[in-house]
Copies of this chain bind each other. A is one copy, B any other.
Amino acid sequence: MKQYNCEIEAALEVIGGKWKAILLYHLTKGPKRTSELKRLVPGITQKMLTQQLRELEKDSVILRKVHSQIPPKVEYSLTEYGRTLEPVLNSLCHWGKRHIQYVYADEEVMVVNKEVEKTT
């Protein structure tokens, strides 16, 4: 019998990984190729990227679509179930924005907005 001490534990099992919330957040803006995600999340290594995406896939919140091409093309997107996470991700993002202002009011802080060139 599985047992939680609070519901948040269950949520963290899915989005608690080091990069998961960030990856999911980017995917709320639309499907992304592996290379796009790497660019959007510069700190992540290929290994961690694949690993985290695999786990999210197992948890049914994202879909991995392989296009049979050479060179390969793989696209990740939120599943319908994954889209139920949007309120969580948005409130995280909203609070993050507020927090940056709260903490770094006088310092120079940047949130980098990477232009996303669509490749087909």
A residues apposed to B, CB below 8 Å: 1-12, 14, 16, 18, 21-22, 25-26, 40-43, 81, 84-85, 87-89, 91-100, 102-104, 107-112, 114
Number of copies of this protein chain within its complex: 2
Contact between chains at A10 and B42 (CB < 8 Å) = no
Known: A1-B107, A1-B110. 9 other contacts (CB 8 A): A2-B110, A4-B111, A6-B93, A11-B99, A16-B18, A87-B91, A88-B88, A88-B91, A88-B92
Query: Do A109 and B1 contact each other (CB < 8 Å), given the known contacts A84-B95, A91-B88, A99-B14?
Result: yes
For A104, the chain B residues whose CB sits under 8 A away are 2
Question: In the complex, which of the residues B8, B22, B99, B102 contacts A21, with contact meaning CB atoms closer than 8 Å?
Answer: B8
